[in-house]
Amino acid sequence: MIHHRANARPTTTPSADYFTGTVQMDPIIEAPEPARLRAIRVSFAPGARTAWHTHPLGQTLHVISGVGRFQTEGEAIVEILPGDTIWIPPGEKHWHGAAPDKGMVHLAMQEAEGGVSANWMQKVTDAEYTAAQ
């Protein structure tokens, strides 16, 4: 058994190579092999967002608070709200983050394949981020 006590692990700031704006991450679990589950609580300040990325085994997002945005490449931006859950299939290029004027917190859950749980790509441009919903 592994027991992570509340507030025992520090909040981190992810790499600016993969995020735009102010983002903070609180680890939930990175299960040891043979398990592959990785989960984090991600807090986005207004306007903050991920870069485009994919996941080798997919990803589940569950919105805890605030107002967010999600987009799959080639599709319209979708507003996401507390209680919303999104399943992103393996290899689907997407981004997610907060609305321009509201912060957003979600749980991000994905499995690692060969130690990799995300494949990062180019940043989402301001024009992409502000496109009509």
Is 78 within a domain?
yes
**Assigned token pair, 44:** 């986005």
Is 14 within a domain?
no
How many domains would you assign to the chain? 1
CA distance 50 to 124: 7
Residues present in the chain in total: 133
The CATH number of the domain where 73 resides is what?
2.60.120.10
CA-based nearest residue to 42, from 128, 103, 117, 92: 103
CA distance 94 to 124: 10
Kindly tell me if the per-residue pLDDT of 133 is higher than 80.
Answer: no
CA-based nearest residue to 48, from 76, 73, 24: 24
Is 8 within a domain?
no
Find how far residue 107's CA is from the centre of its chain: 7
| DSSP-assigned letters across all residues of 86-107 | EEE-TT--EEEEEBTTB-EEEE
pLDDT tens sequence across 64-91: 999 999 999 999 999 999 999 999 999 9
On whether the pTM is more than 0.75, the answer is yes
Q: Please give the mean pLDDT across all residues of the chain.
A: 95
pLDDT tens sequence across 6-54: 889 999 999 999 999 999 999 999 998 899 999 999 999 999 999 999 9
Is 7 within a domain?
no
Is 2 within a domain?
no
Domain range for 40 is: 19-129
Is 12 within a domain?
no
